[in-house]
Amino acid sequence: MRYGPVFLLALLSTAPLAAQDRPYTEGSVTTVSYIRIKPGMFDKYVKYLDTDYKRSMEAQKKEGIILDYGVYTSPQRDEEDWNMVLTVTYKNMAALDNLRDRAEPITMRTLSTTPDKAAAASVERGAMRDQVGSRLLRQLILK
């Protein structure tokens, strides 16, 4: 079935009205990383979070790349479950565009490191934890 130009124009002209009737506005976006810290590595991993991770997040926050970040812990349901959540909040979905290109130089400068050293440090963190999964959440602000 083909739609004529009059029907398409009518359909498109009602789209802004429908958006105005929504009972919410779209807000910030949060990435959630589910982490399983390996046995005996909790304190060592939290020390990393309290040093390099925190310095990097604070620098990105200061530069306006992120709005906020958080570290949460939870008892595991079983040994395959996560026991820590890391969150990073951005202003909106557009803030994720070219994120690595904007954030990586800040991290390199803040931690006085190079991409090769950062990659090696990532391997070291892998010995302390496994990333179980991640989610992307968008806040809906109710009117």
CA atoms within 13 A on the CB side of 113: 17
**Any idea where the domains of the chain sit in the sequence?**
24-142
Residue carrying the six token digits 């890391």: 86
Q: In which order are the strands placed within the sheet that holds 68-73?
A: 68-73, 84-90, 24-37, 129-142
Question: What pLDDT, on a 0 to 100 scale, did the predictor assign at position 109?
Answer: 95
Question: What pLDDT, on a 0 to 100 scale, did the predictor assign at position 74?
Answer: 96
Residue type at position 87: T
pTM of the model: 0.83
Residues of the chain with pLDDT under 50: 8
Question: What pLDDT, on a 0 to 100 scale, did the predictor assign at position 48?
Answer: 97
Q: What's CA 77's distance to the chain center, in Å?
A: 24
Query: How far, in Å, CA of 31 to CA of 57, rounded?
Result: 13
Q: Which fold has domain 24-142?
A: Alpha-Beta Plaits (3.30.70)
Contact indicator for 134, 32 with CB cutoff of 8 Å: yes
Residue carrying the six token digits 């595991």: 76
Dihedral (CA of 81, 124, 103, 65) sign: positive
Question: What pLDDT, on a 0 to 100 scale, did the predictor assign at position 27?
Answer: 97
Residue carrying the six token digits 């992120």: 66
pLDDT digits (tens, 9 = 90+) for 35-51: 999 999 999 999 999 99
